[in-house]
Structure 1
Amino acid sequence: MSKVTAILADTVSIQKYVYSSNRLKENIGASSIIANIYKESLANTLEKTLEHGVSLDEWEKQPETIAIKNSNTDFEVGYIGGGNALLFFNNEATAKEFISEWTRSLLLEAPSLNVAFAISEFNIDNFQNEMKNLFKQLEINKSKYFPQTFLPKHGITADCPYSGLSAEVYKPGTNDEKGAYISSASYVKYKHIDIDDAKVEVERISNGKFSLTTNIEKLGQTKGQNHIAIVHIDGNSMAEHFKSCENLVAIRKLSKRLKDIMQSVYEEFLNYIFEQMDLLLSDESGFNIQLENGKYIIPFRPILREGDDITFITDGRLGIPFAQKYLELMSDKTLYNENKLSACAGVAIIKTKYPFFRGYNLTEELCQSAKREARENKGTSWLDFHISYGGFSGTLEGIRKNKYTTSSGQLHFGPYLVASSDISNEKNIFHLKRGIKTFKNKEEWPRSKVKEFREYLTLGKSASQQFIDEARFKGRKLYGFKETSKTYNINVWQDGFTPYFDMIELMDLIPEYFLAETRQVK
């Protein structure tokens, strides 16, 4: 038997930590802290506890070598990925000392960040069952009360303008912001802005031609088109893939494979954006691409990349095209045993100055809405979106019930199937884009008539059907879904849904040249 002491560490509520501020710079700094947790921070604490150097990537280089089985080895990384780390110690006291030392360090390095642990004797030869028990313990510990990891407010101190916590540290002013006293939690996040690995990566891949911005107003927006899109993409059934791993070697190989795939997808996506830049820089594009330090700012800013997840922001007009492209690139990859990756995306299109945290929460709900379709259709990728031209409150379900429901059914037709050649499915995004192009044909559909049709749709089946019957008599035809079994162009409402409201909502948002892309992956 190969028994050791195992620690499973997991960062809790990463999204809340990263997106709790409405300031992009603070979000980026928080993301940098998260990325560092299982790198420099972990390595430094291990070296202090073990009193010798450690390698955090040896498990990737030699996944089939399990050194901890050797009695002369005091520590080994099981794997690191997906926001958690599996660590092996040959001594329980040392493992507990490490937890104590690391949590103490994190209070200073990342105030307000919570990390949960599970610790147990672990038989490596019974890996699958032991991991199941370790994750069960971790879930129990995550649901327990977390002690406060930041200084509370004091009656004699001012409030931090960013976090609402006690203002304790002075942050010097910059070209964009005035100096101010802020909380230690916010200050640490701002300190990490300079560690902008994403910016370095973009400049490296583009050979210094393009770069990223930390200013949310420099993503290509123009007057009258001042919206951003928050995009959250999450892989499907990834937990099931990892739980199916029968031994440590298998989970290591899967972790490494997923990491390599997601890096490849990310780089391919960046190159796709670079290819669009000549178009986006043209006068007729309608985008305001800016120049900083001799480099063009691409209309894209990654906030958090973790395992099979990515959250990024872009110009509101690019949210759906970029999300579709990312899903297509992911769906083109094989994880293992000919199992193709699939994923879902939520796209929230909101005003640039609207509270970011609310927008992100909506994006997560949209992604979960898309995942419900994916669970019903295994191996498929889906996208859902919401457009807000003002403010909003409440849940996605509440918003759609109050604003997108008529006596005849739902105005919102999504979620939409992405990265699929199955155009017999009326939910395929292929049909959404073709329908938008139909409404953009001003000779057949003058804008006034399109807007009028939109209003009739909100009145329900009878009114909108009468409008279309009259329009058809005058030679105006709706997009026909001819590859499907549906006849929405004849009967506008079917089974409590209509596809045309979404098309009209998006016709002024998605640029014409992105509608021309109809490449299907599967």
Structure 2
Amino acid sequence: MNNLVATVIDTTGIQKYIFGSNRLRENIGGSYLVQSATFEWVKECLLEIEKLELGKVYIFDEETDEFAPQITRNSKIAAELVYAGGGNTILLFKSEEIAKEFTKKITTKILHEAPGLNIVIAHEKLDWDKELLQEVIDKKLIQGKLENEKRKPRPSMPILGLGVTATCNSTGLVAVDTSKRYGIPENDSYLVSREIVAKLKTVDRRHNEPANKKLLNTIFKGLDLGGYAIPYDVDDLGRSEGNSSYIAIAHADGNRLGNRFQNYLQTASNNEDCIVKIRKFSQAVNYAGRNALRAVAEMVINSITIEDNQAVIKYLDKSGNVINKITLQKIDGKTYLPFRPIVYGGDDITFVCDGRLGLSLAAKLLDKFEEFTDNLPDNEGKVTACAGIAIVKTHYPFAKAYALSEALCGQAKKWMKKETNDYEKPIFSALDWHIAASGLIGSINEIRKREYEVQIPELKEVASLVMRPMRSGCCENEWRTWSGFAKVVHELNTHEDWENRRNKVMTLRDVLRQGHEATKQFRQLYRLESLPKFPEANTNLGKEGWYEGICGYFDAIEAMEFYIPLGDSTDE
């Protein structure tokens, strides 16, 4: 009998831990600490097991093609890292004693170096020769012990201070220091708890800024940054003089990738083959996510030009006139990129950028993710994903903006599910967004019902001013696509009928609310044969502005100032 112990580590409340703050530095630090706790620190604690002479350890190297497990092949190996990603880690141990010794070390390290991060760890004995590893992990550990622990969590009662204490501005817990000691300018300094200290250290130059170093060794690896720095704060993301500044937070997530992963594992012939498949699939998805984000970063870098000794990204019409321009922020002699990945690895990706780049970059990310997942080891074709983009004022509460982007991603997924008849038709990538010129009151559904639904004379039912969500890729006989939308926005910005005629565009926006006939009269007044045409659309859309209760142009008008094409066909 070949008995092992399977161990699963799961982090709980990841989103709250990463995005519970309204400060970008703290969000970056939270993301770095989650990734470290479930991967780098796991490896460190395994190596400590080896130092205690409890046996050798085997740590799978993602950069190699050696996918086979070693713990059953080498009697000297006492522990093996099977998989780490997405906040979850799977390990195998030769005995429960070694598994518990590892648990003591990893939990102690997390308590010291990532205060506030909650993890759940479960162990289960496994007969390697008779039991299926996948079933033990899924049913006994994840659906069994881990779920039970999550439903009955031990209450955390942090000591809120004795005597006279001050509270942390971000967490409300006892403050232990001030942020000025961790890279925050003294005039912006605030009180911080142990949790925030740990997060700020990851982006502090005096502590070797490990979060940025990791980003440089993954997403920006091999790219020529041209001397540009990676931003830490939303104020570093770019501005336009005299205009209000906006940022975009984009959150993307793969479609039904977990189902596909489980289906692939079910083809495993034995436990060794199961581990090989886990490693191959996760490695391929991780590479795809990183390569897609790297392609987006490269597109941003390649779009930068120098004008009057300033680094800028410009949107030009055919005559070379500037439609929109981002001036890269320069602080203390450093010029910052208007783009910063926060969460990356696998199919869960979040980045922040200048508000005018969010739509283009999110669409490009989805396109590249499909491209780089086309050759996954299960041979089931490309993986699709959905993205939500929240475009908000620079100092809008970051946590709320992220929550909005996550909700928008969910909206895109729901719409995709509906369009495919509950996945009976081929699934596709989709995106949704919201531009918040002021505060947000209510959920995205409530906002759209309140602000984007109108009663027009031609319809008995309430009509929608928004055409979002939409497909990110082209599709035959489907007009609600990103490429079609981008071309319409580009034409509104650059065509002689619309360029520099802001009053005319705003009049069209008001007229669209009044329905088909009012839009026709608008065209006749301005002698327009058609509004900008959507590829694959019914001709009535260009003539009436509406099709089947959906307005095709309100979104485009709203997005005109928040769209700079990077690598889109509209550049031609």
- So what's the TM-score if we normalise by structure 1? 0.90
1:464 has 2:515 as partner? yes
Q: Which residue of 2 aligns with 1:157?
A: 165
Q: Which residue of 2 aligns with 1:324?
A: 363
1:434 has 2:506 as partner? no
The 8 Å contact of residues 297 and 339 in structure 2, kept in 1 or not, is answered as no
Q: Which residue of 1 aligns with 2:115?
A: 111
**Aligned Cα root-mean-square deviation (Å):** 2.6
Q: CA deviation at 1:227?
A: 0.2
1:262 has 2:301 as partner? no
Counterpart amino acid of residue 522 in structure 2: A
Give the fraction of aligned pairs with identical amino acids, expressed as a percent.
30
Matches of 2:29 and 2:247, distance apart in 1: 20
Mapping of 1:115-514 within 5 angstroms?
115-124=119-128, 126-133=132-139, 134-137=141-144, 138-148=146-156, 150-152=158-160, 156-173=164-181, 174=183, 176-178=185-187, 179-193=189-203, 194-195=209-210, 196-198=212-214, 200-201=216-217, 202=220, 205-206=223-224, 208-222=226-240, 223-244=242-263, 245=265, 246=268, 247-278=274-305, 281=312, 284=322, 285-291=324-330, 296-333=335-372, 334=374, 335-336=376-377, 337-375=379-417, 376=420, 378-407=426-455, 408-418=462-472, 420-440=473-493, 443-445=496-498, 446-458=501-513, 463-474=514-525, 475-476=527-528, 477-481=530-534, 483-485=536-538, 487-511=540-564
* 204 and 439 in structure 1: CA distance in 2 versus 1, 3 angstrom threshold: closer
The 8 Å contact of residues 8 and 86 in structure 1, kept in 2 or not, is answered as yes
Matches of 1:378 and 1:232, distance apart in 2: 22
Q: CA deviation at 1:36?
A: 1.4
Q: Which residue of 1 aligns with 2:45?
A: 45
Matches of 1:454 and 1:63, distance apart in 2: 57
* 261 and 516 in structure 1: CA distance in 2 versus 1, 3 angstrom threshold: closer
Matches of 1:374 and 1:210, distance apart in 2: 38
The 8 Å contact of residues 198 and 302 in structure 1, kept in 2 or not, is answered as no
Contiguous gaps of at least 5 residues in structure 1: none
The 8 Å contact of residues 416 and 428 in structure 1, kept in 2 or not, is answered as yes
Deviates more, 1:227-236 or 1:56-65: 56-65
Contiguous gaps of at least 5 residues in structure 2: 204-208, 269-273, 315-321, 456-461
Q: CA deviation at 1:294?
A: 6.2
Matches of 1:7 and 1:269, distance apart in 2: 36
Matches of 2:232 and 2:165, distance apart in 1: 29
Q: CA deviation at 1:312?
A: 0.7
Q: CA deviation at 1:232?
A: 0.6
* 511 and 263 in structure 1: CA distance in 2 versus 1, 3 angstrom threshold: closer
The 8 Å contact of residues 423 and 430 in structure 1, kept in 2 or not, is answered as no
Secondary structure, counterpart of 1:453 in structure 2: helix
Matches of 1:485 and 1:109, distance apart in 2: 59
Secondary structure, counterpart of 2:542 in structure 1: coil
The 8 Å contact of residues 29 and 189 in structure 1, kept in 2 or not, is answered as yes
Q: CA deviation at 1:360?
A: 0.2
Counterpart amino acid of residue 4 in structure 1: L
Matches of 2:542 and 2:73, distance apart in 1: 67
Secondary structure, counterpart of 1:425 in structure 2: coil
Counterpart amino acid of residue 416 in structure 1: M
Deviates more, 1:314-323 or 1:292-301: 292-301
Matches of 2:198 and 2:492, distance apart in 1: 50
Q: CA deviation at 1:478?
A: 1.4
Matches of 1:99 and 1:405, distance apart in 2: 54
Q: CA deviation at 1:344?
A: 1.1
Q: CA deviation at 1:251?
A: 1.0
* 118 and 60 in structure 1: CA distance in 2 versus 1, 3 angstrom threshold: farther
Q: CA deviation at 1:115?
A: 0.8
The 8 Å contact of residues 9 and 38 in structure 2, kept in 1 or not, is answered as no
The 8 Å contact of residues 81 and 91 in structure 2, kept in 1 or not, is answered as yes
Q: CA deviation at 1:149?
A: 7.2
Counterpart amino acid of residue 349 in structure 1: I
* 468 and 514 in structure 1: CA distance in 2 versus 1, 3 angstrom threshold: farther
Q: CA deviation at 1:59?
A: 7.2
Counterpart amino acid of residue 122 in structure 2: A
- So what's the TM-score if we normalise by structure 2? 0.83
The one of 102, 108, 115 equivalent to 2:106 is 102
* 374 and 140 in structure 1: CA distance in 2 versus 1, 3 angstrom threshold: farther
Matches of 2:448 and 2:44, distance apart in 1: 49
The 8 Å contact of residues 413 and 502 in structure 1, kept in 2 or not, is answered as yes
Q: CA deviation at 1:378?
A: 3.3
Counterpart amino acid of residue 517 in structure 2: Q
Matches of 2:286 and 2:444, distance apart in 1: 32
Secondary structure, counterpart of 1:325 in structure 2: helix
Q: CA deviation at 1:121?
A: 1.4
1:11 has 2:62 as partner? no
Q: CA deviation at 1:161?
A: 1.6
Matches of 2:31 and 2:247, distance apart in 1: 19
* 270 and 515 in structure 1: CA distance in 2 versus 1, 3 angstrom threshold: closer
Matches of 1:281 and 1:164, distance apart in 2: 40
For this pair of structures, how many residues does the alignment match? 514
The 8 Å contact of residues 531 and 542 in structure 2, kept in 1 or not, is answered as yes
Matches of 1:326 and 1:21, distance apart in 2: 25
